[in-house]
Amino acid sequence: MVSSDQRRRQLAREKFERQQQRRAENRRKARRRNAVIASALAVVLAAGATAFATGVLGGDDKDDTVADATPSSTPSKAQDPCAKPAPGSVKKLSYKKEPALTVDKSATYTMKLDTTCGDITLALDPAKAPRTVNSFNFLASKGYFDHTKCHRLTTSGIYVLQCGDPTAQGSGTPGYKLPDENLKDPKLKGGVYPAGTVAMANAGPGTGGSQFFLVYQDSKLPANYTPFGTIAGGQDVLKKIAGAGEATGQGDGAPNATVVIDRATVTK
């Protein structure tokens, strides 16, 4: 027969064992919960890194920007350092086919952008990108770029000002598409478009149109964008535009500076 003292000890032992089991189960649950939190955090960090790394330079078919980037607070808009645009409006021009090749491949062509922020001069290279330079010579002669807004500025990872879209939405096109040219230019070594490069935006291979970008600081990009010239003057203008920042606060968006090309001319 079990005495009352033995019974008390037995009940105490059973209670202790139950407590130990509960504590062990709670520890297992805590470990599982922490593992889930760590896994979720890793996914969030990886997604954020991917979104940052995949900012690309699209044009003529779509507007490519950094996806799913939500600022923690509304960015404050910097003061606009540029003047008011000249009177006039964008011409609605479209052409069914690429213009006939008439540029002199042995010559040097200069494209001057009279912008609201100051003059930018581009030295175009028809020897390396004849069809691209020929197209810009043709479009500028028709006033295609006049009164158009430079619609995109990137200030993180890649450092460019993108222009040449009459819609200012990233979807403008002259109606025809240009082939890629000069993608093996030795200046693009190491996967970098050096500061001072003038290159075509696109929406994939062989889809160049009228949109182009000006590299104001060395930018790591794949060699997918036709380099067709260099910035010969106006780096101070680009610095001023970049210094004003972009509207989203995420490093990729419309420039805070009102950058309008009042007039674009190409001369030989």
| 164 in Cβ contact with 137 (< 8 Å) | no
Chain CA centroid to CA 96, Å: 29
* Residue type at 139 in one-letter notation: L
Write out pLDDT tens, residues 38-96: 443 333 223 333 333 334 567 655 443 322 333 334 455 668 999 999 999 999 999 99
Q: What pTM does this model have?
A: 0.75
Tokens of 62: 């779509």
Tokens of 238: 């680009």
CB atoms within 10 A of CB 114: 15
Place of tokens 């509304």: 74
* Residue type at 158 in one-letter notation: I
Write out pLDDT tens, residues 4-22: 655 565 665 666 566 666 6
CB atoms within 10 A of CB 82: 19
Tokens of 252: 């990729």
Tokens of 261: 């090309």
Write out pLDDT tens, residues 193-222: 999 999 999 999 999 999 999 999 999 999
Mean pLDDT of the chain: 83
Q: What is the pLDDT of residue 79?
A: 82
Tokens of 37: 């939190």
Please state, in angstroms and rounded to a whole number, the distance separating the CA atoms of residues 153 and 120.
16
Q: What is the pLDDT of residue 64?
A: 37
Instruction: Tell whether domain 56-267 is in CATH 3.30.360.10.
Output: no
* Kind and range of the H or E run holding 24: helix 4-53
In the chain, where the domains are located: 1-53, 56-267
Choose between 239 and 13: higher pLDDT.
239
What's the angle, vertex CA 200, arms to CA 53 and CA 49, rounded to 5?
A: 5
